[in-house]
Structure 1
Amino acid sequence: MSLNQPERFVDTSKWNIPTEIDLADPGFYMPHKIDLLISTQEFFDLLLNGKISLDPGLPCLVNTALGWIVGEKVSEIPQSQIVTCNMARSTELPDALERFWLIEEFDSHHNCFTVEEEDCERHYLANTKFLTSGRVQVCLPFKENPHKLGKSFQIAKSRFLQNERRLSRNPLIREM
């Protein structure tokens, strides 16, 4: 977790930032959490041609594949100001992402579904409704007749009510 960057609001009213450029972070002057940390190796790969100096003593704009970024030279830092340095290093992330995409990859031209998968697809197509609220409504699929579940409703309801009573006696646990 990091502190907000920048630590305080930056007055950019006297900066003459061209309106026709797309900034990578249009709200760079407002304190907020960091969205993304980029290693120097990837950072230099993102740089494109283009640098705009605003005025002497003001930051410059640098063109990147993500949009224009604002950078400045720090001449002096007041002693009372906190200096924050954030670093994360992970060599596992690219491998994890590659494994994720291999697992999630779906070949729509490969139609070797099992009987259960075909039943599931038919159920989805027959019982899916897209509501005007933007939600999706799907009936629960059952392999067998749901009446074979027996009389589990009363048992489940009893356990639910028992939990409700227990939680009502302890507000802290209920809140958690």
Structure 2
Amino acid sequence: MMTNLPNYTFDKQQWPHLRNINLADPDYNVSRPIDILLNAGIYADIIMAGILRGSPEAPIAQQTKLGWVLMGNVKTFNCHVILNNIDDISRFWEMEEIMETRPESPDGHYCETLYNNTTRRRDDGRYEVKIPMKPNYEQHLGTTKPQAIAQFKQLEKRLAKDEQLAKSYKAFIHEYQQLDHMKKCTTSREPSCILPHQGVVRPDSTTTKLRVVFNASANTSSGHSLNALMEGGPNIQQDLQAIIMRWRTYQFVYTADIEKFYRQILVREEDQHLQKSCGEIRQQTLSQSTNFALLRTVRRLRYS
């Protein structure tokens, strides 16, 4: 945005070296809008050799094809005030403001209430939660067994071709069983959901080379996935800028990585039929005990 030039009108001074020349802007002391802007290339074409100098505090007159122009330093003491739109400034600061709390969404309130009312701590110290399914989800959850078995057969072919992958995959499944993070399914309840799974190999990882991912975003026969029929819950991820600013208030900061963090929270037995998966014996189903609700966001990002 261009303002008037000069910013305000002032009285001319009678400098002797400027008395007998034709100025390109005779009213240079009057505050007016700028008529035209010329770039440096045009200035080089119109400048001429004449230069007039006065006292050290007076401006220099430079001859051009458009007339004489004034330049140089003039000792003045001015207060320039630029008025801006206060509403625009307010919106700018609102966008840049660090928000510690976010507005609560309806599904977030539902999940908070559900967890407060149903979460319990078992005798062994581990927590058990209910999956926050949407109302009447049973009417929209289609069959999943054919798709899960088909993908499991493809996985078996892949493991048959890669001995190292097969060894790592079996070790993962056995560890799952030994840690009691899954168990054999001995009851039948409909509608149930069988999750297809696959291995993601990360050779550059220094900790886990293989990660087995259970795909809850896979569509069932009705076109709805388990993720789509679950409430998303509130966004619990804090603003990165707020975290960095808060860290600066302490002298020491510690970070920690909890091994198998999400698996430490169990899903109550009444909801485990929604987290079945094909096991090592074809068409045999296993029921997981991981907290699928907490893993929902990660899996949706990975498979969307």
Same fold (TM over 0.5): no
Higher relative contact order (CA 8 A, sep 6+): 2
Q: Using structure 2 for the length normalisation, give the TM-score.
A: 0.24
Greater Rg by CA: 2
